[in-house]
Structure 1
Amino acid sequence: MEVSELAPKEVKVTDSEIDEAVLLVDSMTTDDISGYQDEYRKGLEAVLEAKAEGRQPPEPTEEAEEPGGQVVDLMAALQESVRKAQAARGEDGGGAEVHELPTAKKKTAGKTAGKAPAKKTAKKTAAAKKPTRRQRGA
């Protein structure tokens, strides 16, 4: 394999696409970086300073985990939604219920335990076969 085969293919980009890309980058760029802090650098400097003074480096602080999302019982939410929709339509709600779908049961090998599956042997005669592309001269 040649190295040139791995090179990316040439892509044609229009002037309007370039202008849009420049506008996007400009919109995401800011000159005011006062709100950003390099926490990694601060921590590394604290460790280096402690080692230079011959004392134990500070323990790493674990960031507080954000609380996880709320767990919702989907079936209860669906039933509540159906109930509200029926109430909004003026129905009494006695006719529709949400049921779990039955799971598919595997077939047991009761009747067919000793039998081998039947083989289909469909043989085409030479006259019934379609000619291949090579045989047609294509």
Structure 2
Amino acid sequence: MEAIAQIIEAKREEKPLPEAPEHEQPAAVLDLMAALQESVSKVKASRGEGEGPAEVHELPRPNKAAPRKQPAKKAAAKKASGRRPRSA
């Protein structure tokens, strides 16, 4: 908050802005893909799964097509009420 107050005060008095302090060490950058691959390989190893490609199986073909449903019937029209509409 003190740095913000210094910037505001410098702008009010039309002085140059104070310099921002330099960071001594850059932040560590994580390689997300490497972390994900490592996590997946640990899980596979704990399950006893091999590192080779997965087995691919053919899907069975359906014997018959499903019967088509009939479209829904339309609702019957409402009967007119005994009242007459109001005139404008």
Tell me which protein shows more helix as a share of its residues.
Answer: 1
- Please give the TM-score of this superposition, normalised by the length of structure 2: 0.31
- Please give the TM-score of this superposition, normalised by the length of structure 1: 0.24
